[in-house]
Amino acid sequence: MELPKDFLKKNNLIIIFFVGVILLIVSNTYSKVKENEQLSNNSSNQGSLINQKSVETYEDKLEKKLEESFSNIEGVGKVDVVITLDSSKEIIVNKDTPYEEAEIIEEDSNGGNRNSKNIKSENETVLINNNNGTTSPIILKENTPVIQGILISAQGGDDPNVRATLINASEILLDLPTHKIQVCKMKK
């Protein structure tokens, strides 16, 4: 039995149409996955650059502020402050953590019981849409960097009273123990 040519042409066209639709769906899905990966990589790279920049800015601002404050103390003169950080700025973002727990109790014909628990937990960062069309995480808390130590070089750094005043001021302002504060005389 031979099929008419019109019937075969229609079937071929239908098959080609469906293959084309499937290819479009697969390529669209693949491109969306690639796009999401690129966005994720870009946002993580930008986040690390922003963190580095904000840590440097924090350190620089703090040094300048301390230099201004210390130079106003009588007998100190010109001051240069160097701060070292033990850790960088920490940003805590909002996470969506859905949690499901199901307990299954099975009894067999011999009177034995079997308990099993199924726990499903995910962890996903909550994002918001910005006005410029980008997304960013919701920040819950920002912890400032931890200061490891401070070096103060001052024109009056060889005077014991000035040294004691600068050490006490540093202890109070930075909540540092004395052994993490060094005061030196600035060279001329």
pLDDT by 10-residue block (mean), the chain, 188 residues: 60 73 72 56 49 64 91 92 82 77 80 79 78 81 85 92 93 92 90
60 assigned to some structural domain: no
Place of tokens 């690639």: 34
pLDDT of residue 130: 82
Nearest to residue 82, comparing CAs of 150, 169, 158, 7? 150
Question: Is 71 inside any structural domain?
Answer: no
The length of the chain in residues reads: 188
Does residue 97 lie in a domain region? Answer: yes
| pTM (2 d.p.) | 0.50
Print the domain residue range for 98: 93-135
Residue 9 lies in a domain: no
Half-sphere exposure of 133 (CA within 13 A, CB side): 1
- Is 131 among the domain residues? yes
CA distance 89 to 53: 10
CB 63 within 8 A of CB 94: no
Where do we find the tokens 């800015």? 57
Q: How many CB atoms lie within 10 A of CB 144?
A: 14
Q: Give how far Cα 96 sits from Cα of 25, 99, 137, Å.
A: 30, 10, 11
Residue 106 domain flag:
yes
User: Is the separation of the CB atoms in 98 and 123 below 8 Å?
Assistant: no
4: number of Cβ within 10 Å: 8
Per-residue model confidence (pLDDT) at position 33: 56
Q: Is residue 18 part of a domain?
A: no
Q: How many domains does the chain divide into?
A: 1
d(CA 124, CA 137): 10
Q: What pLDDT does 43 receive? A: 47
- Residue carrying the six token digits 């005043």: 165
Helix, strand, coil percent content, the chain, rounded in steps of 5: 45, 30, 25
Say if 13 falls within a structural domain: no
